[in-house]
Amino acid sequence: MVASDDGSLEQFTLLAKTARGRACVALIQQVLSNKKLFVFGELLDMPNVKALAESDQTDQQGHARLLAIFAHGRYLDYVRQKEDATFHIPDLNAAQALKLRKLTVVSLCQQHKSVPYRILMRELQISSVRDVEDIVIDTIYSGLVEGKLDQKNEVFESSYSVGRDVQPSDIDDMILRLTQWFNPSIFHLAYVDTTGKTTRNKPASTSTKCSATRRRWKRRRPSVTCR
């Protein structure tokens, strides 16, 4: 399941068909600042967006990489690539930084049902417990995750998280996981089916055994004559 984008993604992908170069960069900036849009895969697949990554303009290359981080990465990925001048990653505005941190919370909840504050603080690059809790609460209100904050033990107990865009490199791993889940399930279904048939046949078998026992008992019991 993925978060609803209220039609915004479709509008942006339509615009991306004709937006090239700087116009496409401006479009990406709008996408990353949009408060309702948390999926980006279709936009990444647009030819004009892909062309940015191959451009000789560093600003265009940087925006293509930034969009990929929002689709598949975390806030810490942004920080690390930002520190590497060869990536030419642009700065984030406040809305974009918050959005990427929310997506980071989603990724952490997909990996762990219980996410300690210390991991959240590291991944979100925030040193204040209160600020971490505010971001988690904001992520909950955005409908991206569900759960409860355990302030005493400093952990977020996640019960649900939306799906994020899937990277092509993740598909093989997904197939493996599904196969590992599917094969044991087939075994258990076969076992249940066999057990069910055995159980259904038991009453008839038991009845037959009882009838035979009665007949043997009647043949063997002593004859009693009343005088």
Write the pLDDT tens digit of every residue in 23-58. Answer: 999 999 999 999 999 999 999 999 999 999 999 999
Global pTM reads 0.74
Residues 105, 63, 94, 33, CA torsion sign: negative
Q: How far is CA 166 from the centre of its chain?
A: 9
Nearest to 42 by CA among 172, 143, 165: 165
What are 82-133's pLDDT values in tens digits?
999 999 999 999 999 999 999 999 999 999 999 999 999 999 999 999 999 9
In this structure, what are the phi and psi dihedrals at residue 155, rounded to the nearest 5 degrees? -150, 145
Q: Which of 22-36, 75-89, 148-162, 165-179 has the lowest mean pLDDT?
A: 165-179
Nearest to 104 by CA among 130, 75, 133, 78: 75
Element (H, E) at 124: helix 117-124
Torsions phi, psi for 19 (to 5 deg): -80, 125
